[in-house]
């Protein structure tokens, strides 16, 4: 992991080979869909590479860190899918239809894509706390504890991230 933290591609390949089965298994237990599980597993390894410098061997083993990240990503995906289904159902109820009209499905999907693009434009620190707070449902205090940050720092990152998101999405904060 130390070599990965220094940007060593070969070390990351070794890490991938060691962890892919446990990460995929963790994700698949949550999602149950093999194709979606492969996609989320890939996202986990991208995140592992991006955040390798944050790994602290004093707090957890590499496999525990990866499994925790995998579980969080899988739960995020479940929530995202459920949220999209809920939006479609609400649109159908507003219309009084059994199923949402195709144009409403497209609009809901485009809205989700806009939010994803706006999130991608945040700094890693802001995106992480926004996702933990609003996707994972963690409290600011829990985020501070998980990330080993002062509570005020977490609140500032959330506030700054929400302000940037609002600006990107063209809504008033």
Same domain, 42 and 109: yes
- Cα–Cα distance measured from residue 57 to residue 69, given in angstroms and rounded to the nearest whole number: 15
Distances (CA, A) of 7 to 50, 60, 76, 105, 107: 10, 20, 27, 42, 40
Same domain, 29 and 90: yes
CA 119 to chain centre: 10
Same domain, 116 and 128: no
**Residue-level pLDDT, tens digit, the chain, 173 residues:** 999 999 999 999 999 999 999 999 999 999 998 999 999 999 999 999 999 999 999 999 999 999 999 999 999 888 877 777 776 666 666 555 555 555 555 555 556 677 788 888 888 889 888 888 877 777 898 888 888 889 999 999 999 988 988 888 777 65
pTM, two decimal places = 0.54
Same domain, 132 and 158: yes
Cβ partners under 8 Å of residue 135, min gap 6: 76, 79, 80
Same domain, 115 and 129: no
Domain range for 62 is 2-120
Any idea what the CATH number is for the domain that residue 33 is in? 1.10.1740.10
């Amino acid at each position: 992991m130390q070599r990965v933290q220094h940007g060593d591609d070969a070390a990351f390949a070794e890490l991938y080979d060691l962890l892919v089965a446990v990460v995929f298994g963790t994700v698949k237990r949550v999602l149950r869909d093999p194709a979606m599980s492969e996609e989320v597993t890939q996202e986990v390894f991208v995140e592992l590479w991006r955040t390798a410098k944050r790994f602290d061997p004093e707090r957890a083993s590499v496999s525990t860190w990866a499994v925790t990240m995998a579980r969080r990503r899988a739960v995020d995906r479940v929530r995202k899918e459920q949220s999209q289904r809920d939006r479609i159902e609400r649109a159908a109820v507003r219309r009084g239809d059994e199923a949402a009209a195709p144009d409403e499905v497209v609009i809901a999907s485009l809205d989700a894509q806009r939010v994803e693009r706006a999130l991608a434009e945040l700094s890693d620190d802001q995106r992480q706390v926004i996702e933990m707070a609003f996707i994972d449902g963690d409290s600011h205090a829990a985020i501070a504890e998980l990330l080993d940050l002062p509570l005020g720092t977490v609140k500032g990152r959330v506030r700054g991230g929400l302000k940037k998101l609002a600006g990107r999405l063209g809504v008033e904060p």
